[in-house]
C-alpha cells in the first residue's frame, strides 16, 4: 500500500480561477502550479483543449471535493471559425482533409446557421477527443489508425450570437451545457452550410459561477507566489450560488456524525427549503462543514449530506 503524501504547509484549500493560455494542456498548467507553488493536492473542474484559453477552475486542497458541483455549470465561450475547410480534429490544430467553396453563402445565411445551435439537443463527439470507447480515448484509436466509433451526447445551448463577420471568418459567442464540444458545433454548422467550418480560436469567458474578470494569468501566478493566498477563493465562498446555512455547535457535531438535520431547524429561512434544494452548511467558527441537498424521508424534509468538507 502506498504511503500517504504529507500535506505541504503551503497547501491552500479553495478555488483558483486561472486564465489558461492557448497552447498547453489543462494538465500541464496544473503541473506548473503544483511544482512552482507547492500545491500537491490539485485538480480542475472542466478541462479545456490545448488551443482554447480562458477560465479554468483550479481546485486546491479540500477544494478538490467540490469538483462534481462546479463541473456541471453552464459555460460561455467566444471564438472564431473559418468557413471553407474541414480538419480531422474539427479545429485549426488538425490536418485539413477537405477544402470547399463558401462563396454561395450570404452573411444572413451564416448567422441563421449559428442561431440554429439553439435548437440542437445532441451532437457528435469529435473523433479526436478524450471521450472513451471500451476504456480507450478516441484520440488514441485515431492515432493508431483504427476505426473511431461515432458517439453522440445530449447538449443544451442557451445562447448563441454572431459578434463579427468577414467571410470566411466569423466571430461568435455561445453559452452551453457542460461537456459541449464547441468545435463540434462549428463542424456540424459547416456540414449544414455545405462549406465546411473549422474552429480557429476559443476563449472560455465564464464557467458558472466564475468569469474571466476573476481569473489570473499563469505567468503572473508563478512570478508572484507571495500573492497566492489572497488570490485563492476560500471554501466558504467557493459555491456563491448556493445558500450558506449556519449551524449551532450541537448541530455541527451532529452533521460530523452523519446526521440528517430537518431543514426547518437550520439557519434563518423565510420559508423551508423544498426537496432538491442545495446548500452549504457552515459551522459556528465559519468553517464549511458539508454540502447538502434537501430530501424527503419519513414524511419530513431533511438536509442529506452530499459531501463532508471538514
Helix (H/G/I), strand (E/B), else coil: 269 = coil
Question: How many Cβ atoms are within 10 Å of 108's Cβ, its own excluded?
Answer: 9
d(CA 93, CA 87): 8
The answer for residues whose C-beta is within 8 angstroms of residue 160's C-beta and 6 or more apart is: 114, 115, 117, 118, 172, 173, 174, 175
3-state helix, strand, coil in the chain (%, to 5): 25, 35, 40
98 beta partners: 86
Exposure string over 26-36, b if 16+ CB within 10 A, otherwise e: beebbeebeee
Q: Are 62 and 235 in contact (CB under 8 A)?
A: yes
Partnered with residue 146 across adjacent β-strands are none
Beta carbons within 10 angstroms of residue 24's beta carbon = 16
**Annotated catalytic, 219?**
no
From the candidates 13, 38, 49, 213, which is the catalytic residue?
Answer: 49
| Residues known to be catalytic | 49
Amino acid at each position: 500500500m502506498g504511503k500517504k503524501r504529507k500535506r505541504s504547509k503551503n497547501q491552500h484549500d479553495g478555488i483558483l480561477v486561472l486564465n489558461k493560455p492557448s497552447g498547453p494542456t489543462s494538465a500541464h498548467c496544473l503541473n506548473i502550479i503544483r511544482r512552482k507553488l507547492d500545491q500537491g493536492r490539485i485538480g480542475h473542474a472542466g478541462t479545456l483543449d490545448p488551443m482554447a484559453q480562458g477560465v479554468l477552475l483550479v481546485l486546491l486542497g479540500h477544494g478538490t471535493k467540490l469538483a462534481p458541483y462546479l463541473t456541471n455549470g453552464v459555460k460561455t465561450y467566444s471564438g472564431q471559425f473559418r468557413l471553407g475547410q474541414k480538419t480531422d480534429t474539427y479545429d485549426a490544430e488538425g490536418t485539413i482533409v477537405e477544402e470547399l467553396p463558401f462563396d454561395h453563402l450570404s452573411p444572413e445565411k451564416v448567422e441563421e446557421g449559428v442561431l440554429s445551435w439553439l435548437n440542437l439537443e445532441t451532437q457528435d463527439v469529435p473523433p479526436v477527443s478524450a471521450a472513451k470507447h471500451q476504456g480507450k480515448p478516441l484520440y488514441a484509436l485515431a492515432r493508431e489508425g483504427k476505426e473511431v466509433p461515432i458517439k453522440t451526447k445530449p447538449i443544451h445551448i442557451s445562447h448563441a450570437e454572431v459578434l463579427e463577420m468577414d467571410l470566411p471568418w466569423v466571430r461568435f459567442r455561445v453559452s452551453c451545457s457542460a461537456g459541449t464540444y464547441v468545435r463540434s458545433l462549428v463542424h456540424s454548422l459547416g456540414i449544414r452550410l455545405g462549406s465546411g467550418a473549422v474552429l480557429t480560436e476559443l476563449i472560455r469567458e465564464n464557467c458558472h459561477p466564475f468569469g474571466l474578470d476573476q481569473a489570473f494569468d499563469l505567468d503572473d501566478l508563478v512570478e508572484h507566489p507571495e500573492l497566492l493566498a489572497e488570490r485563492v477563493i476560500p471554501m466558504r465562498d467557493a459555491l456563491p450560488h448556493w445558500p450558506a446555512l449556519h449551524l449551532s455547535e450541537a448541530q455541527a457535531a451532529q452533521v460530523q456524525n452523519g446526521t440528517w438535520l430537518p431543514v426547518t431547524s437550520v439557519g434563518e429561512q423565510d420559508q423551508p427549503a423544498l426537496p432538491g434544494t442545495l446548500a452549504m452548511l457552515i459551522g459556528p467558527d465559519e468553517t464549511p462543514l458539508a454540502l447538502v441537498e434537501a430530501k424527503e424521508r419519513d414524511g419530513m424534509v431533511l438536509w442529506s449530506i452530499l459531501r463532508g468538507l471538514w
